[in-house]
Structure 1
Amino acid sequence: MSDAIATTTLPRPRLSDGSTSFLRKLAILALLAALWQGAALWTGKPMLLPSFTDTMRALVAGILEDGLLASSWRSLTVLMKGYAIAVAFSLVLVSLAVANSFAREALRTLISMFNPLPAIAILPLAMLWFGLGEASLVFVLVHSVLWPFSLATLGGFDGVPETQRLVGRNYGLKGPAYVALILVPAALPSVIYGLKIGWAFAWRTLIAAELVFGVSAGQGGLGWYIFRNRNELFTDKVFAGLVLVIVIGLLVEGVVFRLLESLTVRRWGMQR
């Protein structure tokens, strides 16, 4: 009898939340791939819609023979430069806005003005100012990241409870120390959310901008690879480039930001 009771009270093995989420994402991706393959076979027009298997073959060939990974690395290198500059500049602006009411109103006005402005729309202006080179791309990337990240971070700082603010003041914290030790940890979920939004805006802006730079300068990264193969009517290679854009986005979201959340806000119980 005791053995039966012990058997019934044993906990059932279960997958961790991370494993369950990973398996669900794999199932969703497999379903999308199956739908893609079925739609391509049904249309029967590989020039317009190559199949999933043809795209995967083109992706492998692009990596092994056509320098697709090198093109992607060039794109990511430029992106990280603009991303880092924008985040650093945004933190300075938001810190000033927290300390001064005039700076706060000025920042809110700038966000209202420039956040709705598509970054790619200022590319001709950037090319006029900085020429055909990396500086123009970085300028456009800074614009695409700066305003949404500033908006999310400022909103997070405004939501910090007054008790936590008083703790910082009681310890005599002021200026950068107050922002770094009190506001940033308390508003970290909003800060990470802003980093995610900024990354998404920067990634899609970079790919779009590289299409223009590819036409103008004959060089570039992943966006230029897509544009060049579109001109040569290699639709499977175009789709392979688009798939790699999506895969890189999924990896950054599912690995980099997931790890950052696990080490911070999830461990601290600030986010589920």
Structure 2
Amino acid sequence: MSLLLEPPIRQEFEYAAAPAAPASVTRPLPLAQRAWQQDWLRKGLILLALAAGWEIIARWQNNDLLLPTFLQTARAFVDGIASGELLERVRISLAVLLQGYVLGVIAAFALTALAVTTRLGRDLLEALVAMFNPLPAIALLPLALLWFGLGNGSLLFVIVHAVLWPLALGAYAGFQGVPETLRMAGRNYGLRGLPLVVQILVPAALPAIVSGLKIGWAFAWRTLIAAELVFGVSSGKGGLGWYIFQNRNELYTDKVFAGLAAVILIGLLVDSLVFRTLERLTIRRWGMQR
């Protein structure tokens, strides 16, 4: 006769659940800490500190011809805005800059697209970048004057040179960093040539492309101002660089500093309103940049 073995019966216990801990209430940060977390406030305080240091050094030196005070420069800047002279110079410079920048961007993307789709295009890009990227754009100005004369054509030539090579190099480096799986996915969907570049490579390499756009903008802006300082007048009218050069000849040092302040302010506005907005709407929104 077989014995049926039954499992032992376990005694059951009932435990009372511990009372839940009260949820901790997060207290709001003090007003000073919340204000300090604002980027615009921190940067504004830095600018105020720099302006105060400038004012102190200029008053200590006590030579308006060499270094006007911050208040004198601000007065000259406001007077230039009120009279319309400074605004007109800025308009002339920005009009030329925008044309040259757009032409440089188009040429850079055409050259880069050719480089990532054909071996000959890659060799061409590498050779041209190695030759012309180290060459300062302002060094080509005498040759541009010989070819295009004294006017906007020469300025456009040197601006395109300043934009083309750093942007092409940055975009090409970004394309080279695109994972092979994305390229294969694009080819599986039948993408080849330019459609593959536009729909797969450009979105994946967008951080490098935006960085190249920013570098190209900086190079173009300073190249334009440097070119206008000497050869920027055409038909009796010049841009912001010519405004600085002309006032330097007339020993209006406060207006010279006002022109330099306009150059700096335009650079800050373009970086804050254009490039940071582009980064926020694209690469940061897509999680490609912190």
- Measured after TM superposition, the shift of residue 10 of structure 1 is 2.7
1:182-261 equivalence runs, <5 A: 182-214=200-232, 218-261=236-279
- Measured after TM superposition, the shift of residue 70 of structure 1 is 1.4
In structure 2, how many angstroms separate the alpha carbons of the residues matched to 1:249 and 1:164? 36
Q: Structure 1: which amino acid aligns with 2:26? A: L
- Measured after TM superposition, the shift of residue 184 of structure 1 is 0.5
Which residue is 1:30 aligned to?
48
Larger radius of gyration: 2
- Measured after TM superposition, the shift of residue 12 of structure 1 is 2.4
Q: Paired residues, what number?
A: 267
Q: Structure 1: which amino acid aligns with 2:25? A: T
Structure 1 window deviating more from structure 2 (167-176 vs 262-271): it is 167-176
Which residue is 1:123 aligned to?
141
Which residue is 2:186 aligned to?
168
TM-score (norm 2): 0.88
Q: Structure 1 pair 80/214, CA: closer, same or farther in 2 (3 Å)?
A: closer
- Measured after TM superposition, the shift of residue 15 of structure 1 is 4.9
- Measured after TM superposition, the shift of residue 103 of structure 1 is 1.5
Q: Structure 1 pair 125/64, CA: closer, same or farther in 2 (3 Å)?
A: same
Which residue is 1:85 aligned to?
103
The answer as to whether partners of 2:138 and 2:223 remain within 8 angstroms in 1 is yes
In structure 2, how many angstroms separate the alpha carbons of the residues matched to 1:255 and 1:237? 26
The answer as to whether partners of 1:132 and 1:217 remain within 8 angstroms in 2 is no
In structure 2, how many angstroms separate the alpha carbons of the residues matched to 1:44 and 1:16? 37
Query: 1:64 aligned to 2:82?
Result: yes
- Measured after TM superposition, the shift of residue 11 of structure 1 is 5.2
Alignment partner of 1:9: what SS? Answer: coil
Identity over the aligned pairs, expressed in percent?
A: 59
Structure 1 window deviating more from structure 2 (49-58 vs 99-108): it is 99-108
Which residue is 1:12 aligned to?
28
In structure 1, how many angstroms separate the alpha carbons of the residues matched to 2:196 and 2:35? 37
Query: 1:105 aligned to 2:117?
Result: no
Q: Which of the numbers 113, 133, 146 marks the counterpart of 2:151?
A: 133
Q: CA offsets per residue over residues 63-82 of structure 1, 9 Å max, x none?
A: 11151011101101100100
Q: Structure 1 pair 47/16, CA: closer, same or farther in 2 (3 Å)?
A: closer
Q: Structure 2: which amino acid aligns with 1:74? A: I
Q: CA offsets per residue over residues 151-210 of structure 1, 9 Å max, x none?
A: 100000000011111111111111211111100000000000000000000000000111
- Measured after TM superposition, the shift of residue 214 of structure 1 is 4.1
The higher relative CO (CA closer than 8 Å, separation ≥ 6) is in: 1
Q: How well do the aligned residues superpose, as a CA RMSD in angstroms?
A: 1.8
Q: Structure 1 pair 83/168, CA: closer, same or farther in 2 (3 Å)?
A: same
The answer as to whether partners of 2:93 and 2:224 remain within 8 angstroms in 1 is yes
Greater percentage in helix: 1
- Measured after TM superposition, the shift of residue 56 of structure 1 is 0.2
In structure 2, how many angstroms separate the alpha carbons of the residues matched to 1:50 and 1:230? 13
The answer as to whether partners of 1:208 and 1:223 remain within 8 angstroms in 2 is yes
Which residue is 1:152 aligned to?
170
Q: CA offsets per residue over residues 90-144 of structure 1, 9 Å max, x none?
A: 1010011001122112211111111111101000100100111111111110000
TM-score (norm 1): 0.94
Alignment partner of 1:42: what SS? Answer: helix
Q: Structure 1: which amino acid aligns with 2:91? A: W
Q: Structure 1 pair 262/95, CA: closer, same or farther in 2 (3 Å)?
A: same
Which residue is 1:270 aligned to?
288
Structure 1 unaligned regions, length at least 5: none
Alignment partner of 1:160: what SS? Answer: coil
Q: Structure 1 pair 15/101, CA: closer, same or farther in 2 (3 Å)?
A: farther
Which residue is 2:4 aligned to?
none
